[in-house]
Amino acid sequence: MRSQFNYVIGIDEVGRGPLAGPVVVAALALPKNLKYGIRNTGMRLRDSKKLSVTQREKWFKLIKQKNIPYALARVSPKVIDRINISRAANLAAVKAFKRLITNYKVANYKIFLDGGLYLNKISNFGFQIQNSKTVVKGDELIPAISLASIVAKVTRDRYMVKLSKKYPYYWFKENKGYGTKKHIAAIKKYGLSDIHRLTFVKKYNNLKTSVV
């Protein structure tokens, strides 16, 4: 029996754990006719965190070359502090999905989200969700989620590198906002920037106000 779906939409987030910067979600629509072509590129497709920078950039370039539709959404540290990281990630997932199906002619699809993301967690956004499934370790099992993970990771990393020019004290170019020893030492020395997540750094004592 032939599949009725033309696209598999994969949705994944990057930036759930950092002390600074946004959480970013990508929604990507992998056309059915590209599914096996993606597997036969000679590059191993994996969760973005398990790929090197060079490997991620190669995959991202291929996604662009193949004109695979994708959309992005990010939620700021201030919103993360207000509603918590889980709700922020799901809010970004809804926004990215909505942008994907609004901006591209994507029809007859099924949706897979990486574990922890659920489109139905956010209601009343104007679209009826069908054929949506959350898959634990989906970024390792489902190509569309793996590709979405790469898009989100490359996009967020580039954004944090850009922010490192504005906030040079915190080594964002190296750590992308994660809590490395250098980053934590910089927080204790210089205080917080306005892109730090207050709910994530509150455990550090005697923090100063922003110096940048």
Q: Three-class SS of residue 111?
A: strand
Torsion over CA of 37, 129, 87 and 80, rounded to 10 degrees?
70
Q: Which two tokens stand for residue 24?
A: 């970013």
Under 8 Å between Cβ of 11 and 109: no
- Tokens 């750590």 found at: 175
- Strand arrangement of the beta sheet that strand 132-135 belongs to: 70-75, 23-31, 7-14, 109-114, 132-135
Phi, psi of 47 (to 5 degrees): -55, 140
Nearest partner of 191 among 173, 205, 171, 177, judged by Cα: 205
Q: What's the pLDDT at 36?
A: 61
Domains and CATH numbers, the chain: 7-162 (3.30.420.10)
Cα separation values, 156 from 9, 67, 137, Å:
20, 20, 20
Torsion over CA of 128, 13, 114 and 19, rounded to 10 degrees?
-130
CA distance 167 to 74: 19
Q: What's the pLDDT at 1?
A: 40
Phi, psi of 67 (to 5 degrees): 55, 40
Under 8 Å between Cβ of 30 and 143: yes
The model's pTM is 0.90
pLDDT in tens for each of the 212 residues of the chain? 455 789 999 999 999 999 999 999 999 999 988 866 676 677 888 889 899 999 999 999 999 999 999 999 999 999 999 999 999 999 999 999 999 999 998 888 999 999 999 987 655 555 556 678 999 999 999 999 999 999 999 999 999 999 999 999 999 999 999 999 999 999 989 989 999 999 999 876 555 555 44
Q: What's the pLDDT at 202?
A: 83
Q: What's the pLDDT at 45?
A: 84
Q: What's the pLDDT at 89?
A: 97
Under 8 Å between Cβ of 81 and 199: yes
